A and B are shown apart, each in its own frame.
Chain A
Amino acid sequence: MASRKKDSWGSSLGVILAVTGSAVGLGNFLRFPGLAAKYDGAAFLIPYFLALFFLGLPIAWSEWAMGRFGGQQGYNSCPGIFRSIWKNRLAPYLGVLGLIVPVVIYMYYLWIESWCLGYAWKYLTGQMNLGMDPATYTTHFTSFVGLQTDGDFLAHGFSLPVICLLACVILNFFFIYRGLSGGIEKVCLWGMPLLVLCALLVLARVLTLGTPDPSHPERNVLAGLAYMWDIRGGLPGLLHSLSNAEMWMAAAGQIFFSLSVGFGVVINYSSYLKKRDDIALGSTTAVAGNEFCEVSLGGLITIPAAFLFLGAAGTVGGTFGLGFQTLPLVFAHMPAGQLFGFLWFFLLFIAAFTSSLSMLQPAIAFMEEGLDLDRRGSVSLLGFITLMGTGIVVWFTKDLAALDAMDFWVGSFCIFILATIQTFLYGWVLGVKRGREELERGALLPIPRIFDFVIRYVSPVYLLTVFVIWLHQKGAENLEAIRTQPSVRIALLFVAAVLILFLLLIARAVRVWRIREERKP
């Protein structure tokens, strides 16, 4: 291992854009606006920004600090970093979550990424002229994804959806194999500005539409913006909205998932930084970049555009409904809609691609430092595991059962657990004093003193409260799905098998690290 050249970042701008690219995804452009529209527009923003300052930003700072701390001890993976912070036999095994979360999310995220690529391709080649009937767009999405029966997605051989999935697999592995600075960083350095440019072009189009349908004068740009940003019902309406506990949970969840905290990627990325590199400004910039894409771009485009052509009824629907059924209908109504439809789905593809690229790096780092595999070996092994997982997801397509199960138990449940562990490690094991020393070394931005109190007391309580209520709201139906749906059981059995494999690999890595430490003079 000593002879192997360690991965590193090319520049501080590169790591910031890579972290931002990892965080910015479909949730920024589809989930956030959908939630804001659902929970009375402006009222949603109050719990949202409170969660940003008391949950998202503090956990992001602590992750960057723990990552660089672990990197200085020679570790880049969660098991190694946790072990370097907490001298407890259990510590590296808790780090398994930092491996399994991004790896399992990668398995289904790759598929969603391929939908964006497929839709972008269809717009580019003029295949999305489906008329003005909303049902056509629902049927199109159902057929594209194969929602009706299991195996439907793969039943048509080398169809466009399958080709797009294969293209995403190849693109991802090509750039992941090229490493941090040669692959991931280069893609993000080009991809993130391109994403923002596409979003600005679509935004300019939406804001200059005026009143597109003279028969509906109430559907104009200002009314669209008002639907997203206005306080509905004045002050009494605002107070009524703020008394909705579900909205507070949704806002905290949105911040939490949007920033990708507790995801295992940021802690890994920051471990490649040098001892005196800034992390305070870098982490804050990455958070600001994510919030810009979410609030300024997603908030100004998605709901106003849907409202302009479809009215309030067009703004409802989950992430996939809004993104792949409602918005294509909006583009059908919009002048030059084919071009703007392409730009929109291309930017969603870039957002998904820069996220998926980051997801295997934590496990690659673990295999390199714990199992002495080289990049080729670790990428090949992970490629095999993740392709099997993706295979399960794209086989059990009926009602997206496998995808939803993995997303709930790994993409939400495990993320909460990992974030709680990280908050505990930073606030109570590493300690806020040592943590602050780490944050302030080379800092180009002062971190407010109150952060020490927030990360030690406020964030864990906030996090656990959100977690318990969220589990209470969603847990029962997901447990029921395990009981009633064989496809969910198969998907989760596969996840359990991957979890056990990683635990065994960690046990071996711990032995290797121990021997290495004993040999050290």
Chain B
Amino acid sequence: MSLYGWIVLVLSVGGTTGSLIWCFARVIRNLGKTDRLHATTDLDPHNADL
């Protein structure tokens, strides 16, 4: 495989894998916070009729 091929492979596979890992790391880091938020927003009186 040529150098161009390796660059395309590394950029494509690395880019999609890296962005998934980065996004998931942020999701998991904020998991506790957002799940606690659910509990408080459930009590929002403006949403009580929904």
Contact A288:B23 (CB < 8 A) given known A2-B49, A231-B8, A277-B38: yes
Contact across chains for B27 and A281 when beta carbons are under 8 A apart: yes
> Of the candidates A16, A230, A442, which one forms a contact with B8 in the assembled complex, judged by CB atoms under 8 Å apart?
A230
* A274 interfacial contact with B, CB 8 Å: yes
Say how far A301's CB is from chain B's closest CB, in angstroms: 12
> Of the candidates B8, B19, B38, which one forms a contact with A274 in the assembled complex, judged by CB atoms under 8 Å apart?
B38
* A485 interfacial contact with B, CB 8 Å: no
A300's closest neighbor in chain B, by CB?
B13
A439-489 contacts to B (CB < 8 Å): 442, 444-445
Contact across chains for A230 and B42 when beta carbons are under 8 A apart: no
Contact across chains for A278 and B30 when beta carbons are under 8 A apart: yes
Contact across chains for A276 and B20 when beta carbons are under 8 A apart: no
* A45 interfacial contact with B, CB 8 Å: yes
Q: Is the interface of A mostly helix, strand, loop or mixed?
A: helix
Contact across chains for A274 and B4 when beta carbons are under 8 A apart: no
Give the chain A neighbours of B16 by CB distance below 8 A. 288, 291-292, 294-296
Give the chain A neighbours of B23 by CB distance below 8 A. 281, 284-285, 288-289, 445
* A96 interfacial contact with B, CB 8 Å: no
Q: Is the interface of B mostly helix, strand, loop or mixed?
A: helix
Count of chain A residues with Cβ under 8 Å from any Cβ of B? 43
Contact across chains for A42 and B37 when beta carbons are under 8 A apart: no
Per-residue contact bits, chain B 4-34, to A (CB 8 Å; 1 contact, 0 not)? 1110110011001101101110111011001
A278's closest neighbor in chain B, by CB?
B34
Tell me the number of A-to-B contacts counted with CB atoms below 8 Å. Answer: 112
Say how far A275's CB is from chain B's closest CB, in angstroms: 6
* A163 interfacial contact with B, CB 8 Å: no
Q: How far is B17's CA from A230's CA once the two chains are assembled, in angstroms?
A: 19
Contact A231:B2 (CB < 8 A) given known A72-B47, A274-B38, A289-B20: yes
* A13 interfacial contact with B, CB 8 Å: yes
Contact across chains for B20 and A226 when beta carbons are under 8 A apart: no
Contact A230:B20 (CB < 8 A) given known A12-B35, A45-B12, A282-B27: no
* A321 interfacial contact with B, CB 8 Å: no
Contact across chains for A231 and B31 when beta carbons are under 8 A apart: no
> Of the candidates A222, A276, A291, which one forms a contact with B19 in the assembled complex, judged by CB atoms under 8 Å apart?
A291
Give the chain B neighbours of A300 by CB distance below 8 A. 13
Contact across chains for A225 and B9 when beta carbons are under 8 A apart: yes
> Of the candidates B1, B13, B22, B31, which one forms a contact with A13 in the assembled complex, judged by CB atoms under 8 Å apart?
B31
> Of the candidates B8, B13, B34, B47, which one forms a contact with A12 in the assembled complex, judged by CB atoms under 8 Å apart?
B34
Contact across chains for B8 and A291 when beta carbons are under 8 A apart: no
Give the chain B neighbours of A520 by CB distance below 8 A. 49
* A29 interfacial contact with B, CB 8 Å: no
Can you list 10 pairs linking A and B with CB atoms under 8 Å apart?
A2-B49, A230-B1, A276-B37, A281-B30, A288-B16, A292-B19, A296-B12, A300-B13, A442-B34, A444-B27
